[in-house]
Structure 1
Amino acid sequence: MALNRLFANLSITSTYICRQRIHTCTVSFASKPNIIKPRPGFGKAYRRIVHFPEEYTVKPLEVTNLAGRDPITGRVVAKGIGGGIKHKYHWIAWVRDGPKEGPPQEEKVIQVMEDGCRTSNIALVAVGDKLKYILATENMKAGDILKTSRDLPRIPVRANEGDAYVLGALPFGTIVHCIEKDPGHGGLYIHAAGTYGTILRKQEDRVIVQMPSKRLFSFDQHCMAVVGRLSNIEHGNTPIGSPQRNRWLGNRPRSGLWKRKDGRHGRKIRPPKPVKEIAHNTKSKIPAIQMTMHP
């Protein structure tokens, strides 16, 4: 009888464990569907859609303002976006390409202007018989001559503000922006107003750059970078000043109903720490051990 009861208990326990596992698996699969996450840097934009033509142009491009809505479903995704002044979009030529040997290519700055779709100013530059937009540096002005080269010389070059060279051609301590991730793919890093990176050192064929976040990134020495600090330095220090100007910037206000944050992420009320006693150590010292050569 005792053995039968033992086997009955074991069968009940195993059935319960199996059901629990099945239930847990069912819940986990139902609550976590197979979602393909987007790659970093290629997310959706819910503020505006820019209608790019097939070929590059300096003509201001048409923009469709989304006001925080999904462009396909039309539902509100980002509640903090809405309104704002309607701006045209200026297409930036991110690739600063130059000769790989010989003298650098010269470019002339035609005009420096503000752009409503980005924080830093932009500059209209003439290269031969073509025009293009680039990000303006701190002291860039109309009439400046910029140099661009992909040559990697044996001795570092003395570059001026706005010049574009490969990272391996610039000396240590140079401040740069618009750094390429891969050679020839265009400037991807450091676009915000007033930001810059600093070239610290080299490791074989890699160049270590300190980013605006103080993190250290290692780039290929053939990646292009533009010398200097980006323009519109006071962008982060300028107060908005009024709620109406905040609406001009495209920021939709909240409901205005104040509510204390509660739940697991709310305010934590923890007991005070115990009293730490600060006193002089009165313990006697351990006597020194004298060792002799005799047993």
Structure 2
Amino acid sequence: MIKHKPTSPGTRWKVCLGLKFKNKKYTPRCLISSKKPSYGRNNQGIITSRHRGGGVKRNLRLIDFKRKKHYVLCRISRIDYDPSRNALISMLNYFDGDKRYIIHINNTKVGDIIVSGFNIPPKNGNFLPLENIPIGSKICCIENKPGMGAVFARSAGNYFVLLSRDNDYCLLRTSSGETRKVNSKCFATIGEVGNLDFYLKKIGKAGTNRLKGIRPTVRGVAMNPIDHPHGGGEGKTSSKRNPVSYSGKLTKGFRTRRNKRTSKLIVKHR
């Protein structure tokens, strides 16, 4: 962690992660892609996600979440910074000459050799099915369906714990305390996602968020009645209704989960 000297109001409270391996080496064109930002609007130009817009131009890093090159050894050549996510990414150099990006796993370093496959040792960074992972292991980058690619536990410092195993399903405990079932044929990575100190970062000033494409958030009580359910009134008034969002939905304690099809796989809610 790097704390800056208070030479200006913007650096007084700023705390950076101090990524020493944030390099500017050449990245192969096959691992990056360009994408026009949507700025929180749909195809009709209507705002569907507020507080988005602006920001610096960036390239998308193509992450390999499926890792289907089974039993082909690869070496971690370098660890890079990805502006599109809070986790770091690792570049893999396969022994057959191919190069891929994956999510960086904690306690893996440059020069380590990892592999993906079915009957491989449960080493940190290896990608193998849940049915071959020991009970009690920390896992991340987990598939929801076999061959779908990793969808669970991909953010910085995140991991699941393998609690038990049945014939067709494994019981996992998420970082939020939820317990759910996942197919035993699904693949997962041994270990936890790196960059554990991400939550200690402080931006220091509003301009940093503007560079990231995050626009200001205005309180509802400071708006007019036409703009927000909390708006209007003479002076500072408070209504007896519960706090609601911009669209009128309850904001505190109201469940917004809509995927009822997979609710049967959740054993214990968070």
TM range (shorter): 0.5 to 0.7
Query: Displacement, 1:69?
Result: 2.1
Pairing of 1:112-151 with structure 2 (within 5 A): 112-127=79-94, 128-151=96-119
| Cα distance in structure 1, aligned partners of 2:243 and 2:79 | 48
| TM-align CA RMSD | 2.2
Aligned to 1:247: 210
1:61 counterpart = 2:38: no
What is the identity, as a one-letter code, of the residue corresponding to 2:115? K
Q: How many pairs align?
A: 201
Query: Displacement, 1:140?
Result: 2.3
Match of 2:241 among 250, 264, 277: 264
Whether the 8 Å CA contact 1:180–1:224 is kept in 2: the answer is yes
| Cα distance in structure 1, aligned partners of 2:37 and 2:186 | 34
Whether the 8 Å CA contact 1:150–1:222 is kept in 2: the answer is no
What is the identity, as a one-letter code, of the residue corresponding to 1:180? E
| Cα distance in structure 2, aligned partners of 1:183 and 1:216 | 19
Unmatched tracts of structure 2, length 5 or more = 1-28, 223-236, 245-270
Pairing of 1:195-274 with structure 2 (within 5 A): 195-255=158-218, 259=222, 262=239, 264-266=241-243
Query: Displacement, 1:241?
Result: 1.6
| Cα distance in structure 1, aligned partners of 2:138 and 2:54 | 37
Whether the 8 Å CA contact 1:58–1:90 is kept in 2: the answer is no
Work out which structure has the larger RCO, using CA pairs closer than 8 Å and 6 or more positions apart in sequence: 2
After TM superposition, where is structure 1 displaced by more than 6 Å over at least 4 residues in a row? none
Whose helix fraction is larger, Structure 1's or Structure 2's?
1
SS in structure 2 at match of 1:226? strand
What is the identity, as a one-letter code, of the residue corresponding to 1:80? H
Query: Displacement, 1:266?
Result: 4.4
What is the identity, as a one-letter code, of the residue corresponding to 2:104? A
| Cα distance in structure 1, aligned partners of 2:146 and 2:243 | 47
Match of 2:77 among 87, 90, 110: 110
Residues 48-73 of structure 1 deviation map (CA, whole Å, 9 limit, x = unaligned): xxxxxxxxx73321121222222x22
Q: 1:93 to 1:261 in 2, by over 3 A?
A: farther
What is the identity, as a one-letter code, of the residue corresponding to 1:186? G
Query: Displacement, 1:209?
Result: 1.1
| Cα distance in structure 2, aligned partners of 1:112 and 1:266 | 44
Q: 1:262 to 1:78 in 2, by over 3 A?
A: farther
What is the identity, as a one-letter code, of the residue corresponding to 1:217? R
Aligned to 1:88: 59
1:75 counterpart = 2:43: no
| Cα distance in structure 1, aligned partners of 2:116 and 2:50 | 43
| Cα distance in structure 2, aligned partners of 1:239 and 1:89 | 24
Whether the 8 Å CA contact 1:68–1:77 is kept in 2: the answer is yes
Q: Scaled by the length of structure 1, what TM-score is found? A: 0.63
Whichever of the two has the greater Rg, that structure is 1
Pairing of 1:36-55 with structure 2 (within 5 A): none
What is the identity, as a one-letter code, of the residue corresponding to 1:219? V
What is the identity, as a one-letter code, of the residue corresponding to 1:65? P
Q: 1:131 to 1:261 in 2, by over 3 A?
A: farther
What is the identity, as a one-letter code, of the residue corresponding to 2:30? V
| Cα distance in structure 1, aligned partners of 2:89 and 2:69 | 20
| Cα distance in structure 1, aligned partners of 2:37 and 2:164 | 44
Aligned to 1:273: none
Q: 1:252 to 1:141 in 2, by over 3 A?
A: same
What is the identity, as a one-letter code, of the residue corresponding to 2:241? R
